[in-house]
Structure 1
Amino acid sequence: MIDQEEVRRMQWAARRGMLELDLVLEPFVNQRYSELSDSDRAIFQRLMLREDQELFSWLLQREAPEDKELAAIIKQILKFARTVPADR
């Protein structure tokens, strides 16, 4: 069982102050974070340490992270964001 304090920390971390990021990251954390594997949660936590401009570029697919693990979690986030809310 995932610790709810960890979820709250990631909810806070997903509030980036850039609306475009908030609209993608916050719903992902609220609806999917607790379902991620331990390793994917650790990768997501590393992702949240990155700069907003990097995240923005990656989520808009202008660039891709060199780190394959970060690229994979970005792919999961984008898949989630492209899914109709009723089907999440």
Structure 2
Amino acid sequence: MGHRGHKLGYEHLRRHDLRHTALTWFAAAGVPLHVLRRIAGHGSLTTTQRYLHPDIRKITAAGAALSAHFSALRAPRSLPGPIVMTR
């Protein structure tokens, strides 16, 4: 980035870092992994996966969604209870 980058405090940014960020944003927007692989020009999905860095909000939201899913599975349903066999 030259001298201008140093003055602004962005000297740590490299083009490679920006690729990681862009692919992460595409993934957050819902672009499927196989499409991201083509955008990045990677040979394998594994390489593309190494580029993705979900932020803590996305990770927390994913955990909350999974918890809600399991809560719904455990919730009592409006189905008849078990049949009790009597002799």
- TM-score tier by shorter-chain length is under 0.3
- TM-score normalised to structure 1 length: 0.21
Whichever of the two has the greater Rg, that structure is: 2
By relative contact order (CA 8 Å, sep 6+), the higher-ranking structure is 1
More helix by share: 1
